[in-house]
Amino acid sequence: MNRRKFIASTALAAAAPLVLTNFRLFGADAPSNKLNLALIGTWGRGSAHFDALADENVVALCDVNSNHLAFGLKKFPGAKTYEDWRKLLDDHQTLGLDGIVICSPDHTHAFITNWALNRGLHVYCEKPLANTIEEARIVRANYLKNRKKLATQVGTQRHAFQNFNRVRELVQDGAIGELQAAYAWGNRQLRRPGYLSAQGTPPATLNYDLWLGPAPFHPYNPGYFTGKSQANCLQWNMYWDFGNGQVGDMGSHTMDLVWNAIDAEPPTAAEAKGEAVNPEVSPVTLETHFEHPANSWRGPIKVGWYQGGALPKSPRDYIDLNKIDHGAMFKGTKGFLIAGFENRILIPYGDDADLTYYKRRTKNELVPPLGHFQKEWFNACKGNLKTSCDFDYAGQMIQQMLLGLVAYRAGQRIEWDATAGRVTNFAEANQYLSKPYREGWTING
């Protein structure tokens, strides 16, 4: 009997009244019930997961940089080490792997994720889940096929902040009346002229070919690697072949504040405006606008994303939205709600500004806290498979964000058939749904 079947059968046994006193032994948090996990990307963002991972069995580590691998090995000395994530995944049975945590650069996310799902592994993937709409659709479809046995989570850990629940409650309970529009923004600005030119040779400690992975070839330049731990992503994420700039970076976190409140279906149309398109680098200044269909509790709404200095109009002159680095705003028929990740401001307006139209929840009706974000996934792998940012939710959300970039590159309003995954009113825009990969790399491995 393999480990997972053992856990499943013991969980069943635990449900029987006879073993009720033993229940704790088999509960999600029981020490006897540890996951066998692999960490891919063992420095930078990977190290932010060390403490949570230490509660489980980290059986394998993978990094293309041997110094970073050694760094991870210090924390998890018993783990087997790999340079190539494909070899690690090949060994999943001998390692007894239950799941993987992906903290490598963005251009590898959808590839590693999809290969892992194909091998029946639970996946936690750092944001953004994908770099193109095609990647996001492949990964989401694979997850939907496997959702009755696999737990997934995208690393938008701010989702666990209590403020996310409070914002959802205020919007859905009518504190701003009927919802009409929602906006998110981020004011980070990383100006890059174009891919870095060839400079020097990769150090012996770095397998640059594997770092490039599926991305088209670009010559080595140390500039891609000079960032501080947990911020090195800012050295490469502006380049189209490695990332999507703020859309995939802080956009993944900030649009989550909006999506968590609006129960979004995919948008039906998108348009964008921003600086001139650069074929090598994603834009600094950009705004993208989406038309979202009605759902069971609200009418159709507009959703907007603003970055690099672009901002929605503040409802009050004395509120400078730019002072909220990464924020969201909800516009309703009776007021505005402005939110950062951890706090919010409610601005009722008009004749009803006394808020008598709004019935506040009692304490015990509040959305319960999510708890520890990474551990929500551990527990999901061990039990109910439920996470807050699974590849269905996060896969849809990143598609919306990326559709904004498609509209930006297409240079016009586009209409979107989310079922078919096609732009319907401007065929040329469909070229921006995917991107080329280096020979020898496939996402369906």
Ligand X SMILES: NC(=O)c1ccc[n+]([C@@H]2O[C@H](COP(=O)([O-])OP(=O)(O)OC[C@H]3O[C@@H](n4cnc5c(N)ncnc54)[C@H](O)[C@@H]3O)[C@@H](O)[C@H]2O)c1
Which parts of this chain interact with ligand X (CB under 6 A)? 40-46, 62-65, 68, 85, 103-106, 108, 126-127, 155, 157, 210-211, 213, 230-233, 249
CA angle, corner 339, sides to 335 and 341, nearest 5? 165
CB-nearer residue toward ligand X: 106 or 414: 106
- Helices within 213-346 (DSSP H only): 233-236, 250-262
CB-neighbour burial class of residue 268 (10 A; exposed 0-12, middle 13-18, buried 19+): middle
Nearer to ligand X, 211 or 305 (CB): 211
* d(C-alpha 227, C-alpha 231), whole Å: 6
Helices of type H across 175-278? 208-212, 233-236, 250-262
Residue 329 φ then ψ, to 5°: -140, 140
Cβ proximity to ligand X, 40 vs 262, nearer residue: 40
What is the smallest separation between the CB atom of 84 and ligand X, expressed in angstroms? 7
Q: Closer to ligand X at the Cβ: 232 or 430? A: 232
Residue with Cβ nearer ligand X (61 or 301):
61
| Min dist. Cβ of residue 90 to ligand X (A) | 14
C-alpha 93/C-alpha 24 separation (Å) is: 28
User: Residue of minimal CB distance from ligand X?
Assistant: 44
| Closest alpha carbon to 263 in 142, 370, 397 | 397
Q: Which is nearer to ligand X, 45 or 218 (CB)?
A: 45
What's the min distance (Å) between Cβ of 374 and ligand X?
10
Q: Shortest Cβ distance from residue 160 to ligand X (Å)?
A: 12
> What is the nearest approach in angstroms of ligand X to the Cβ of residue 151?
18
Backbone angles phi, psi at 397, to 5 degrees: -65, -45
To ligand X, the closest distance from the beta carbon of 386 in angstroms equals 20
Question: Minimum distance between the CB of residue 102 and ligand X, rounded to whole angstroms?
Answer: 8
Structure tokens at 296: 């069971």
Instruction: Give the span between the Cα atoms of 248 and 151, in whole angstroms.
Output: 22
Q: For Cα atoms 12, 17, 19, give the angle at the middle one, nearest 5 degrees.
A: 70
Q: Cβ closer to ligand X: 262 or 394?
A: 394
Cα–Cα distance for residue pair 33/39, rounded to 1 Å: 19
